[in-house]
Amino acid sequence: MDMRIWLKLAGLLCIFLACLTAGMELERTMKIRWKFLWEMHELFQILENEMIFRHTAVCDALRYAANGSKTCLQQVLLAAAESVEAGGGSAFEKIWEKALNDLVPKRLLKENEMQILYQAAASMCSSDTVMQRTLLNQNRDRFLQLAEEAGREYKEKGSLIRRLSAAVGAFLVILLI
Partner 1 sequence: MKSNDNYLKLLPSGLRTLFASAHLNGDKLQEIRMRTGRTLLLCYDGCEYAVSGAGELLRQPEGGYCVSEKDVKETLEQLTGYSLYAYDQEMKQGFLTVAGGHRVGVAGKIVCEGEKIQCIRYISGLNIRLSHQKKGCARELLPYIISENDVFPTLIISPPGGGKTTMLRDLIRLISDGTENFSGKNVGVVDERSELAGSYHGEPQNDLGMRTDVLDCCPKAEGMMMLLRAMSPQVIAVDELGSERDRYAVKNVFYCGCRLLATAHGNSLEDVRRNPLLGEMAEAGMFGRYVLLNGRREPGTVRRILDGNGAVLFGKDEKQTACSD
Q: Which residues bind partner 1 (CB under 8 A)?
A: 51-52, 55-59, 61, 84-85, 87-92, 124-132
7 vs 131, which CB is nearer to partner 1? 131
Report in angstroms how near the CB of residue 133 gets to partner 1 at its nearest.
9
- Tell me which DSSP letter residue 4 carries: H
From the number of C-beta atoms within 10 Å of its C-beta (0-12, 13-18, 19+), residue 88 rates as exposed
Residue 126: CB minimum distance to partner 1, A: 7
- For the bound state, the minimum distance from the C-beta of residue 88 to partner 1, rounded and expressed in Å, comes to 7
Are 20 and 170 in contact by the 8 Å Cβ rule? The answer is no
CA distance 76 to 109: 14
Cβ proximity to partner 1: between 4 and 55 the closer is 55
Q: Give dist(CA 169, CA 151) in Å, integer.
A: 26
C-beta separation of 146 from 113 below 8 A: yes
For residue 71, the minimal CB distance to partner 1 (Å) is: 23
Query: Nearest approach, Cβ of 81 to partner 1 (angstroms)?
Result: 10
Q: Which is nearer to partner 1, 5 or 88 (CB)?
A: 88
Among 83, 125, 89, residue whose Cα is nearest residue 102: 83
Considering beta carbons, is residue 92 or 118 the nearer one to partner 1? 92
- Nearer Cβ to partner 1 (55/106): 55
Report the alpha-carbon distance of residue 47 to residue 49 in Å, rounded: 5
